[in-house]
Structure 1
Amino acid sequence: MDVCVIGGSRHFGRRLIGELRDSGAAVTVVNRGSAPAPPGVTHLLADRDDEAALTSALGGRRFDVVIDQVCYTPVQAAVAARVFAGRTRRYVLTSTVEVYAELGRPGGPPLPEGAVDPSAGSYDLELPWADAQFLEDHYGEGKRQAEALLVQEGPFGVATVRTAHVLGGDDFTGRLAHYVGRIEQGRPVVVHPEPQPASFVHEPEIARFLAWAAAAEFTGPVNAASQGALDVRELCAAIGRATGREPRLTGGPDADLSPFSFDRCYAMDTGRAARLGFGFSAVADWLPYVIKEATAR
């Protein structure tokens, strides 16, 4: 298999590249060069937002599949649809649970892929996607619109992997560290009065899933999450057991809420992944290890 990975310079992206390379795939990594690519892969330097530069860097290369780790807007998706037309038969977009933002409800069921249908979604290329603050404030919407544009306009088969909150590894987001640090120091953790469950996935498992999806044939969205959603109280309790400290949970203004506290169900239904043949592990199997890893830093 000949695979192109766009991005992949940090967190589970680097592990994904290693998974693909070690499976025998020929891997080409395209990024701006902010970090060196792992050994054993082809590294092309290009800004994926610069259509001419990306086209030039790719030259005459063709791929069995493209895995896009850093597509956040419909504008970026439109560039990819044009540049990779005729270069690949399959495109895997790394998407996010955030496409379901505001769709869950307190006490509601896990969210299935059909809750957001990219084949019927709209997109607006004229919104200020180049503005960093706008993009940050509309992260989930940007991913929704990127999915919609690729599915509707991409001249190749498109699969969108909606990734749960990733824990473990070199997590640059600092979200788990927020909890570990506060609980170890005896500081309060601000949560909703009735926090709702969310889905999580282990860093090596999402890398394996993306590598598996690259070699599969399915199209459309698929949820990627370990089994067993947790609410923030359960997460804090697990950290408390690992650190030997009793978590101090408190209420507070929305601006102070901790990052995994949600007032609506944020869990995803992974039935489609199971039907396609991928079985996720249980959160309980790996969470204690991830917490110990975080406390050792």
Structure 2
Amino acid sequence: MSDVLVIGGTRFIGRHVVAELLDHEYAVTVFTRGTHPSPFADDPRVEHVTGDRRDDAAVERVAETVDPDAVVDNVAFYPADVETAVRVFDDVDAYVYVSSVAAYDPEHVLRTESNTPLVPCSPAEATDDSFETYGPRKAEADRVALAAADEHGTPAMSVRPTMVYGPHNHLGFVRYWVDRVLDHDRVVVPGDGSYVCHRTYVADVASAVRIVLERGDPGEAYNVADQRPVTMTQFLDRVADAADTAVDPVYAGPRDLAAADLDRAAFPLYMGTPFVMPTEKLASLGWASTPVPEAMAATVADHREHGLDYDDGPSRAAERRVRDALDALD
């Protein structure tokens, strides 16, 4: 296969997927609504088609005009999106749906492709656009993609990344913590710092997509995550090392947080039950993750250039109240 259509390829994960494909000499067409500037606007290797992927007629038109060898579906947020895609692109060599860790049952610490159940999705949830239904929608779209392979022979596969971080990130999960380490030597951390929430460097998602596109088995899903998960304390240390600074975690228990009208859920990356995602299945295809120090160095450099657009967590004033209260106890 040589011609790949990327649905959604201008912001974060999609941008890195396009770059990865170009680095491996694929011809790429990007299909987006055109609401965000394309970093590939002046790259002659990339074609651009404007349209709404939620419009079935627009998807059918792009299939006819582009006639891709393979499709990477990066912005499918509803089951109906994938239903349309696997129908329209049923004759491609590979269809890769970018799913999410949110598809898994959140009560499981170990989240494996074969043994961990996906969350259910009701008909009402399948069309809802709230954050609360994101996981069920991604899970149902995952089921649609893999069923198309099992039942109709469509070469559909999915990749399931978790808590993606890295350059050009417009999401706040990791950027919040990078910002705090760069701006403060003392950072409020809920609990004792042992919480594990598996993360994925964005370039590793891109390489996973390409490798699954090339070597994956239809009907299969593949976890994508840093091959070495780290605790919150270890994570902050990696950020500090990359920034050539020091960090002093201020560990706060439930009562300490409550004094500032906070709880653990107010902090990005605290997603309830700790979890890890084995990646041996993806590694068996020849994939490997970027060492965390290298990934964090690129993340910190990008953050220093672009900063934080918004605070996706407790206010600095609330954090200060927690620190002050703990200091008063010493």
TM-score calculated relative to the size of structure 2: 0.77
Q: Which has the larger radius of gyration?
A: 2
What residue number does 1:181 align with? Answer: 179
- Structure 1 residues 51-103: Cα deviation after superposition (integer angstroms, max 9, x where no partner): 012212332542221100011221211121222233x1321011112222423
What residue number does 2:87 align with? Answer: 82
Partners of 1:24 and 1:230 lie apart in 2 by 34
Identify if the C-alpha distance between structure 1 residues 194 and 246 changes in structure 2 by more than 3 Å, giving closer, same or farther. Answer: closer
Q: Is the 8 A contact 1:240 1:247 kept in 2?
A: no
What residue number does 1:4 align with? Answer: 5
- Structure 1 residues 140-186: Cα deviation after superposition (integer angstroms, max 9, x where no partner): 11111001012113541111111122221011012222113334236
Identify if the C-alpha distance between structure 1 residues 213 and 255 changes in structure 2 by more than 3 Å, giving closer, same or farther. Answer: same
| Range with bigger deviation, 1-10 or 237-246 | 237-246
| Range with bigger deviation, 144-153 or 175-184 | 175-184
Q: Could you tell me how far 1:256 is from its partner in structure 2?
A: 5.1
Q: How does 1:265-280 map to 2 (within 5 A)?
A: 265-280=274-289
Q: Is the 8 A contact 1:100 1:115 kept in 2?
A: no
What residue number does 1:99 align with? Answer: 103
Partners of 2:247 and 2:266 lie apart in 1 by 20
Secondary structure, counterpart of 2:206 in structure 1: helix
What residue number does 1:287 align with? Answer: 296
| Range with bigger deviation, 46-55 or 286-295 | 286-295
Partners of 2:144 and 2:266 lie apart in 1 by 33
Listed as ranges, the gaps of 5+ residues in structure 2 are 308-330
What residue number does 1:51 align with? Answer: 56
Secondary structure, counterpart of 1:226 in structure 2: coil
Q: Is the 8 A contact 2:5 2:28 kept in 1?
A: yes
* Letter aligned with residue 84 of structure 1: F
Q: Is the 8 A contact 1:19 1:211 kept in 2?
A: yes
Once superposed, what is the RMSD of the aligned Cα atoms?
2.6
* Letter aligned with residue 161 of structure 1: V
What residue number does 2:250 align with? Answer: 248
Identify if the C-alpha distance between structure 1 residues 289 and 9 changes in structure 2 by more than 3 Å, giving closer, same or farther. Answer: closer
Identify if the C-alpha distance between structure 1 residues 78 and 276 changes in structure 2 by more than 3 Å, giving closer, same or farther. Answer: same
Q: Is the 8 A contact 1:12 1:169 kept in 2?
A: no
Partners of 1:68 and 1:58 lie apart in 2 by 13
| Range with bigger deviation, 62-71 or 178-187 | 178-187
Partners of 1:117 and 1:245 lie apart in 2 by 38
Partners of 1:20 and 1:188 lie apart in 2 by 38
Q: Is the 8 A contact 1:195 1:263 kept in 2?
A: no
What residue number does 1:239 align with? Answer: 239
Q: How many equivalent residue pairs?
A: 287
Partners of 1:153 and 1:29 lie apart in 2 by 24
Identify if the C-alpha distance between structure 1 residues 24 and 180 changes in structure 2 by more than 3 Å, giving closer, same or farther. Answer: closer
Identify if the C-alpha distance between structure 1 residues 116 and 45 changes in structure 2 by more than 3 Å, giving closer, same or farther. Answer: farther
Q: Is the 8 A contact 2:185 2:246 kept in 1?
A: no
Taking CA–CA contacts closer than 8 Å with sequence separation of 6 or more, which of the two structures ends up with the larger relative contact order? 1
Q: How does 1:204-219 map to 2 (within 5 A)?
A: 204-219=203-218
What residue number does 1:63 align with? Answer: 68
Secondary structure, counterpart of 2:114 in structure 1: helix
Partners of 1:32 and 1:229 lie apart in 2 by 35
Q: Could you tell me how far 1:132 is from its partner in structure 2?
A: 2.5
Q: Could you tell me how far 1:36 is from its partner in structure 2?
A: 4.2
* Letter aligned with residue 226 of structure 1: D
Q: Is the 8 A contact 2:101 2:160 kept in 1?
A: yes
* Letter aligned with residue 70 of structure 2: V
Q: Is the 8 A contact 1:16 1:208 kept in 2?
A: yes
What residue number does 1:202 align with? Answer: 201
Q: Is the 8 A contact 1:240 1:246 kept in 2?
A: no
Q: Is the 8 A contact 2:32 2:53 kept in 1?
A: yes
Secondary structure, counterpart of 1:222 in structure 2: strand
Secondary structure, counterpart of 2:28 in structure 1: strand
